[in-house]
Amino acid sequence: MAAIRKVVFPVAGLGTRMLPATKVLPKEMLPVVDRPLVQYAVEEAAAAGAEQFIFVTGRGKTLIEDHFDRAFELFDTLARKRREETLAALEAAMPEAGCFVYTRQQEPKGLGHAVWCARHLVGDEPFAVVLVDDLVHARTPCLAQLVEAHAETGGNIVAVMEVEPEHTARYGIVDPGEARDRLVEVRGFVEKPAPAEAPSRLAVIGRYVLSGEIFGILDRLPPGAGGEIQLTDAMSRLLEVQRFFGLRFEGRRFDCGDRLGYLEAIVALAMERDDLAAGLHAALRHYV
């Protein structure tokens, strides 16, 4: 089974749910404790064995590129001031030369279109897609769990979680088949169904391992919901010729494109830090 060497990060979105903070600052650069969201996503992909990191960007997203570049003045200042620990942390976050690639989604045509923009960089091999807004806090990184499931099944894998019935209209929902342990066979996908029409409560969240054949489908796919090219629609067509599985991943997912989800992520991750937990716990007692 081919390893998953390439990961696509669609980061061209406008982040309208987090305005006005995201008017100038890309939503992917919003900090959770002391690291931007995009760094958590990259570290997760690296832990899953990724070798090439492909960012599908848009206007106003150059801060993402700058974050993963070497800031000579800052590094030099930290070295002269003997801030070895801080400098080492920054050095550890630096990518290997040539493994980060950037391409543009020039129009906001949906997630499927953003993934399609990476077609020439991925080629025909299996690859992963990581949505940066979905921060998954887990002992074993979520994407690593999907890559392991892909190696076991040979099929396409999506991360799934149960949602409340009234929330099915926010997600792509799985029509489930046979289940085994944490894996469930996927018989179909329904994009944002009303609760009464949802085939299950299993929602797809922002982690995918997909066959390169999906690019040919996206190439011919007409606009779907919202007038956009929907990745879910392309997966439904790929399902006609290839197997799909949903993985009930281990860990907790935070929707950091939502104000409440973002705040929860900050609290949850800070409470696991030895240098922050006690002070934050004491501070929170004033409010709850």
Residue type, 287: Y
pLDDT for 2 equals: 59
Q: Per-residue confidence at 209, pLDDT binned at 50, 70, 90?
A: very high
Cα 192 versus chain centre, distance = 19
User: Which range among 118-122, 157-161, 223-227 shows the weakest confidence by mean pLDDT?
Assistant: 223-227
Q: Give the model confidence (pLDDT) of 249-282 as tens digits.
A: 999 999 999 999 999 999 999 999 999 999 999 9
What total number of domains does the chain contain?
Answer: 1
- Whole-angstrom distance, CA of residue 144 vs CA of residue 149: 9
- Whole-angstrom distance, CA of residue 249 vs CA of residue 287: 33
Q: Which residues pair with 165 in a beta bridge?
A: none
- Whole-angstrom distance, CA of residue 261 vs CA of residue 214: 31
Residue type, 146: L
Burial bucket for residue 166 (CB in 10 Å: 0-12, 13-18, 19+): exposed
Residue with tokens 């309208």: 16
Q: Give the model confidence (pLDDT) of 5-18 as tens digits.
A: 999 999 998 888 99
212-227 average pLDDT score:
90
- Whole-angstrom distance, CA of residue 37 vs CA of residue 147: 21
Q: Per-residue confidence at 1, pLDDT binned at 50, 70, 90?
A: very low
pTM reported for the whole predicted model: 0.92
Task: Label each residue of 52-117 as H, E or C.
Answer: EEEEEECCCCHHHHHHCCCCHHHHHHHHHCCCHHHHHHHHHCCCCCCCEEEEECCCCCCHHHHHHC
CB 94 within 8 A of CB 68: yes
For residue 53, what is the domain's CATH number? 3.90.550.10
Q: Is the pLDDT of residue 95 over 80?
A: no
Q: Give the model confidence (pLDDT) of 152-208 as tens digits.
A: 999 999 999 999 999 999 888 999 999 998 999 999 998 888 999 999 999 999 999
Task: Give the H/E segment covering residue 3.
Answer: none
Q: Is residue 273 part of a domain?
A: no
Q: Per-residue confidence at 223, pLDDT binned at 50, 70, 90?
A: confident
> Taking the CA atoms of the chain, what radius of gyration do you get in angstroms?
19
- Whole-angstrom distance, CA of residue 223 vs CA of residue 7: 24
Report the candidate in 53, 57, 55 with the shortest Cα–Cα distance to residue 26.
Answer: 57
Distance between first and last Cα of the chain: 50
Q: Is residue 285 part of a domain?
A: no
Q: Is residue 271 part of a domain?
A: no
Q: Is residue 250 part of a domain?
A: yes
Q: Is residue 275 part of a domain?
A: no
Q: Is residue 272 part of a domain?
A: no
User: Which range among 50-64, 85-99, 111-125 shows the weakest confidence by mean pLDDT?
Assistant: 85-99
Q: Give the model confidence (pLDDT) of 32-87 as tens digits.
A: 999 999 999 999 999 999 999 999 999 889 999 999 888 878 888 888 888 888 88
Q: Which domain holds residue 80?
A: 6-257
The residues, any chain, with a CB within 8 Å of residue 213's CB and separated by 6 or more, are 124, 238, 241, 242
Q: Is residue 252 part of a domain?
A: yes
Q: Is the pLDDT of residue 244 over 80?
A: yes
Q: Is the pLDDT of residue 124 over 70?
A: yes
Q: Is residue 253 part of a domain?
A: yes
